[in-house]
A and B are shown apart, each in its own frame.
Chain A
Amino acid sequence: MKKKALKAAFPYTIPIGIGFLFLGMSYGFMMQSKGFSVWYPFFMSMFIFAGSMEFVTANLLLSAFSPIAAFFLALVVNARHLFYGLSMLDKYKNTEWKKFYLIFGMCDESFTVNCTVTPPDDVDRGWFMFFVNLLNQIYWVLAATAGALLGYVIHFDTTGIEFVMTALFVVMFLNQWEEAKDHRPALTGLICSAVCLLLFGNNKFIVPAMILIILCFTAEHKYSKRPEVAAK
């Protein structure tokens, strides 16, 4: 049963593995170039396992010590997981002990596969989702560690390498833009955040931006009641 699920899950993780290899190695390499030992990307990729937040944490570790701010920033940056969780409430039912790991390792990519792919009838869904998560996490941890190790061997001017994070989000934004019919949610996020950045400055804008975004969606939801859409 396990072997079958692993075989069914593996092909879906190949493109993710290639992406993780590239991004994870850039992350590990960037950490090393900022002066962190290889253990940092190794443990951070294993325990945080949220790519964007790991890049952000590299910034945090280079700033003043402020664990409470770090906690809230993680909460806000990863708030999308709340909504992944809501979409997976049903799918994670009856997965026994695997449920803990399915929740722990619910990164964007694993969520995308587990949310959209229905495994063949003779494959156990719990184990299928478990292996999607596990394979993705193995790729990510290996790539981050390999990238950091590579940093010990290869030396070049790495100024500007942190832009890989910006590039990642811009491309994610473009991909979402392509697949969405309604562009208002994406624009709401962009515009509310930009306005708050100008109003509150670069250190204090994230929380106001998050509040403004929620307020916009609350208003939008109130004024365009479409009851039949609710049961999506």
Chain B
Amino acid sequence: MTMTTTQAVITIAAVVLGTMATRFIPFMIFPEGKNPPEFVQYLGTVLPYAAIGLLIIYCLKDVPSSSTHGLPEAIAIIFIVLLHKWKKSTLLSIGGGTILYMILVQTVFH
């Protein structure tokens, strides 16, 4: 780690603050008995789906500039999709995909 402990603590505190803001703000804006507008409710139904798409891309953000052209990532993701279609086990898919990726980057794409 390149940060000092104080800097690390401040960074974690900032993350806690940001996370808690997302959890507490709705209850502060809409106290008991007040209903959010219809558009906000609509966003509430669609955004959780979009946020996961955003997070997948966040995980893959270094792929365009990587030396392996995203090949190990692509192989591991295809493997996860197939394994998940077949066994439908969340933990097996996550574990299997991670192990396959680790093997790929430690051996084939070394």
Pair from one complex: yes
User: Which residue from chain B places its CB closest to the CB of A161 in the assembled complex?
Assistant: B102
Q: Which of B23, B30, B51 contacts A89 (CB 8 A)?
A: B30
**Is A135 located at the chain interface by the 8 A CB criterion?**
no
- Which residue of chain B has the shortest Cβ distance to A227 in the bound complex? B38
Chain B positions 1-59 with a Cβ under 8 Å from a chain A Cβ: 1-3, 7-8, 10-27, 30, 32, 35-36, 38-59
Contacts of B49 in A (CB 8 A): 176, 180, 185-186, 188-189
Q: Write the chain B residue with the least CB distance to A85.
A: B26
Please state if B52 and A160 are interface contacts (CB–CB under 8 Å).
no
Q: Looking at the complex, which of A5-13, A50-58, A123-131, A139-147 is the stretch in contact with chain B?
A: A50-58
B11 touches A70 (CB 8 A): yes
- Tell me, rounded to whole Å, the shortest Cβ–Cβ distance linking A166 to chain B: 4
State whether A82 touches B94 (Cβ < 8 A): no
Size range of the interface on A?
Answer: 35 or more
- The A contact surface, by secondary structure, is helix
Contacts of B12 in A (CB 8 A): 40, 43-44, 47-48, 57, 61
Chain A 209-228 interface residues, beta-carbon cutoff 8 Å to B: 209-210, 213-214, 217-218, 221
CB distance from B64 to the nearest CB of A (A): 7
A202 within 8 A of B: yes
Alpha-carbon separation in the docked complex, A205 to B60 (Å): 12
Q: How far is the CA of A68 from the CA of B54 in the complex (A)?
A: 20
Q: Which residues of A contact B17 (CB under 8 A)?
A: 71, 74
Shortest Cβ distance from residue A82 to the other chain B in the assembled complex, whole angstroms: 5
Q: Are B57 and A194 in contact (CB under 8 A)?
A: yes
Contact in complex: A74, B93 (CB < 8 Å):
no
Please pick, from B43, B54, B56, the residue contacting A170 in the complex, using a CB distance under 8 A. Answer: B56
> What is the bound-complex CA distance between A75 and B16, given in angstroms?
10
Cross-chain pairs A/B with CB under 8 angstroms, 20 sampled: A50-B19, A61-B1, A70-B15, A74-B19, A80-B22, A82-B47, A83-B43, A85-B27, A103-B23, A166-B60, A166-B77, A173-B56, A174-B80, A185-B46, A185-B49, A189-B51, A193-B53, A213-B50, A213-B54, A232-B45
Chain A contacts to B: CB under 8 angstroms: 18-19, 22-23, 26, 34-36, 40, 43-44, 47-50, 52-53, 56-57, 60-68, 70-89, 92-93, 99, 103-104, 106, 157-161, 163-176, 180, 185-194, 197-198, 202, 205-206, 209-210, 213-214, 217-218, 221, 230, 232
